[in-house]
Structures are given as structure tokens and as C-alpha cells.
């Protein structure tokens, strides 16, 4: 993967995360699940910010940023708090993997940005019921 | 000097790929001094040549030193506070896995020297606070430091596959920091 391709892959991942958090967030009840609602809302805002930063980073690299898909398939129907949490966990797990790849395919400031985003996803997924792993983001060795 | 394992960049990292990275990094260390030797050949009194070690081997050696420091602290903490043994066991296992992988990238003649020095303690040993809560807080702080230093190592790594691996180790340390802080209040007085 070239550095440009890595940036585009990360942007594609963030387009998906923003869409999915938007849908999941719409299904979480703020009155009965205020904490989950807040965590999903924080994640949504964070991923929107990352998406916008990646758009700028892709442009700075001299490429046209990839567009979002019309829609993305939810990890599950997200109709109960347990499923909503599980969906959020799935979104962060995918982001961690995308950022692990970005670390490996970039250098300098873009790699530093990927390292920080990778760490954030690995920690954020703990808030959605995830467990620490010896090698987050890169799966089984 | 060949850049090891560029070709692995972006490929899902299998254990084999990691070992290949480790071998490539170690191999580059041995090849590193060749141009220097050739350039010096023919001089009247060739000076002893300091073998040039591949920069990624130095990164691996420092990262390994930091992991070993963490393992020492976890060992000492478990010994002083046996009731923390179970909580720290998975954390210790993860750092052992990190150290094992890094050790494969560091040839025997390169010393694993940590890039950070542990807090000095009066008796010169790894000081573990007497109170369990403080002992745990010390481990949490050490995990934060390790996450930060490992990200610095990932930033410096020339091999993309190696950077990705170090990034994952940094993320693991950050996860430990969080799970051990949330557990801090529970039964750790």
C-alpha cells in the first residue's frame, strides 16, 4: 500500500464509522441508556473530526479524497443496548485495524497521526465491552 | 543498506511475517558494516571498524529494554502484592509476548538497553509501594510511559511492518493503562 492509498483506506474507514455511529446513535435511548448514548455520541463526534482531517490529509498528499458510500451494512440490527454496544465495539475494532495498516504504510506526521488514532480506537473499544489484547489491531499472530 | 520487509507493508501480519521482519532486521545488522570495510580496504593501517547496526535493530533493542523493565516491575509488584497477581497476569503475559517477539529481532551482540530509566529508589531495586493501591498506580503510570515510548519507536522504525507491530504494542500498553485504572478503586486499598 502506498502512503496515499493508506490515507484513502483510512478515510474510507472513517466514512463508514461516521455513518454507522450515526445510525447506531439514533437507536440508543438517551433516557434509559444515558451513558451508552454519551459514549456513542462522543465517538460519533470524534470520528467526524478524524474524517475531516483525513480529507485534508489526502488533499495535502495531492489526491482526490474518496467519497462515502450511499450506505453501509450495520454489524447487527442494533435494536437493543447490548447489540448497540456490540456494534460500536465492531466499528472501533475495524478502525483499529485500519489505523494499524496506516501506521505501516505511512511515515512522518501522517504515521504519528495514525499511531495516535490507533491508540484511541484500541482504548475506545474498551468502553464498548472490548477486552485488552496482546496485539490490538493486528489480530492473531 | 536494504530496507527490510518493505514488501510486507499493508499485508495482514501473520506470525510468519513478524518473524520474517525480525529476521530481516537482524540480518541487516550483520550486513551493515560491509560498505565501511570495503571503503577502508587498502589503507595502510586500517582502524578497527565499529560495526554499523541497522537503525531498526537499535529501535528493537530499546523497545525490548523497555518491555523488560515493565516485566521486572510487574514481577516485583506481584511478589510484593500477591493479591494483584490475578489482575496483572494477562498484562504480564502480553508484555512477555511483546518481549519475546522483539528479542527475535535483536542479535545477541546488541544489548537491550531501555530508552527510559526507571525511577531511582533508595535501595537501588525496583521500588514497589507498600500500599496495593499505590503499587497499582505505579504500574498504570509505567504503562502510560511505555505506550508513549513505544509510539516513539514506531515513529522511528524504517520497516513499515515493524512500525505496525510496535504501534500495536503501544496500543496494548494504552489498553492496560485504562483497564488497570478502572480496576484501581475495586479491592485495591
pLDDT tens digits, one per residue of B44-101: 555 556 667 889 999 999 999 999 999 999 999 999 999 999 999 999 999 999 999 9
CATH of residue B148's domain is 1.20.1260
Where do we find the cell 464509522?
A17
Does residue B1 lie in a domain region? no
Residue B6 has pLDDT above 70, yes or no: no
For residue B98, give its domain range.
Answer: 13-115+126-182
The shortest C-alpha distance from B164 to chain A (Å) reads 5
Tell me whether A132 touches chain B (CB under 8 Å). Answer: yes
DSSP state of A33: -
Which of A109-123, B36-50, B66-80, B130-144 shows the lowest per-residue confidence on average (mean pLDDT)?
B36-50
Distance CA B126, CA B9 (A): 38
- Average pLDDT score over residue span B21-34: 50
Task: Tell me which residue of B3, B35, B5 sits closest to B161, measured CA to CA.
Answer: B5
Given this model, what pLDDT does residue B60 score?
97
Does residue B19 lie in a domain region? yes
- Cβ contact (<8 Å) for A1 and B10? yes
Given this model, what pLDDT does residue B33 score?
39
Share of chain A above pLDDT 70, in %: 99
Does residue B92 lie in a domain region? yes
Q: Which domains does chain A have, with CATH numbers?
A: 3-128 (1.20.1260.10)
The shortest C-alpha distance from B155 to chain A (Å) reads 6
For B98, which residue in chain A has the nearest alpha carbon?
A134
Share of chain B above pLDDT 90, in %: 56
Among B18, B97, B179, select the one facing A132 at the smallest CB separation.
B179
Mutation target among A3, A98, A103, A112 for the B interface, most CBs of B within 10 A: A103
- Residue A118 sits at φ, ψ, to 5 deg, of -60, -50
Task: Tell me which residue of A107, A95, A105, A88 sits closest to A137, measured CA to CA.
Answer: A95
Q: Report whether B126 contacts B72 (CB < 8 A).
A: yes
ipTM passes above 0.85: yes
Distance CA B38, CA B31 (A): 12
**B32 band by pLDDT with thresholds 50, 70 and 90:** very low
**B127 band by pLDDT with thresholds 50, 70 and 90:** confident
Digit-coded pLDDT (tens) for B145-172: 999 999 999 999 999 999 999 999 999 9
Tell me whether A6 touches chain B (CB under 8 Å). Answer: yes
Residue A15 has pLDDT above 60, yes or no: yes
Number of domains into which chain B is organized: 1
Distance CA B56, CA B74 (A): 27
Distance CA B76, CA B135 (A): 10
Digit-coded pLDDT (tens) for A47-103: 999 999 999 999 999 999 999 999 999 999 999 999 999 999 999 999 999 999 999
- Average pLDDT score over residue span B172-187: 81
Given this model, what pLDDT does residue B35 score?
41
For A5, which residue in chain B has the nearest alpha carbon?
B10
Q: Report whether B21 contacts B165 (CB < 8 A).
A: yes
Does residue B188 lie in a domain region? no
Q: What is the per-residue burial (b if ≥16 Cβ within 10 Å, else e) of A66-85?
A: beeeeebebbeebeebebbb
pTM: 0.84
Chain B partners within 8 Å of A138 (Cβ)? 12-13, 164-165, 168
Amino acid at each position: 500500500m502506498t502512503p496515499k492509498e493508506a490515507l484513502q483506506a483510512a478515510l474510507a474507514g472513517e466514512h463508514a464509522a461516521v455513518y454507522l455511529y450515526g445510525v447506531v446513535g439514533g437507536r440508543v435511548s438517551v433516557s434509559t441508556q444515558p451513558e451508552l448514548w454519551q459514549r456513542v455520541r462522543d465517538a460519533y463526534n470524534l470520528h467526524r473530526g478524524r474524517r475531516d482531517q483525513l480529507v485534508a490529509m489526502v488533499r495535502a498528499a495531492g489526491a482526490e479524497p474518496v467519497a462515502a458510500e450511499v450506505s453501509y451494512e450495520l454489524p447487527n440490527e442494533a435494536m437493543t443496548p447490548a447489540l448497540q454496544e456490540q456494534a460500536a465495539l465492531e466499528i472501533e475494532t475495524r478502525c483499529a485495524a485500519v489505523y494499524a495498516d496506516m501506521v505501516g504504510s505511512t511515515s512522518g506526521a501522517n504515521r504519528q497521526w495514525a499511531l495516535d488514532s490507533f491508540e484511541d480506537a484500541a482504548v475506545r473499544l474498551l468502553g464498548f465491552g472490548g477486552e485488552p489484547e496482546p496485539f490490538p489491531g493486528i489480530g492473531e499472530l | 543498506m536494504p530496507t527490510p520487509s518493505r514488501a510486507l507493508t499493508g499485508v495482514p501480519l501473520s506470525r510468519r511475517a513478524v518473524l520474517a521482519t525480525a529476521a530481516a532486521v537482524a540480518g541487516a545488522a550483520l550486513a551493515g558494516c560491509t560498505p565501511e570495510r570495503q571503503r577502508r580496504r587498502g589503507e595502510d593501517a586500517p582502524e578497527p571498524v565499529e560495526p554499523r547496526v541497522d537503525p531498526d535493530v537499535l529501535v528493537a533493542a530499546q523497545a525490548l529494554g523497555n518491555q523488560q523493565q515493565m516485566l521486572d516491575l510487574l514481577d516485583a509488584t506481584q511478589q510484593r502484592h500477591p493479591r494483584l497477581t490475578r489482575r496483572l497476569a494477562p498484562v504480564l503475559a502480553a508484555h512477555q509476548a511483546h518481549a519475546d517477539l522483539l528479542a527475535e529481532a535483536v542479535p545477541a551482540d546488541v544489548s537491550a538497553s531501555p530508552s527510559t530509566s526507571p525511577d531511582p529508589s533508595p535501595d537501588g531495586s525496583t521500588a514497589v509501594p507498600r500500599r496495593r493501591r499505590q503499587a497499582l498506580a505505579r504500574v498504570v503510570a509505567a504503562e502510560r510511559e511505555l505506550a508513549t515510548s513505544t509510539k516513539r519507536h514506531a515513529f522511528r522504525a524504517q520497516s513499515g511492518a515493524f512500525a505496525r507491530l510496535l504501534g500495536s504494542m503501544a496500543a496494548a500498553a494504552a489498553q492496560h493503562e485504562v483497564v488497570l485504572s478502572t480496576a484501581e478503586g475495586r479491592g485495591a486499598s
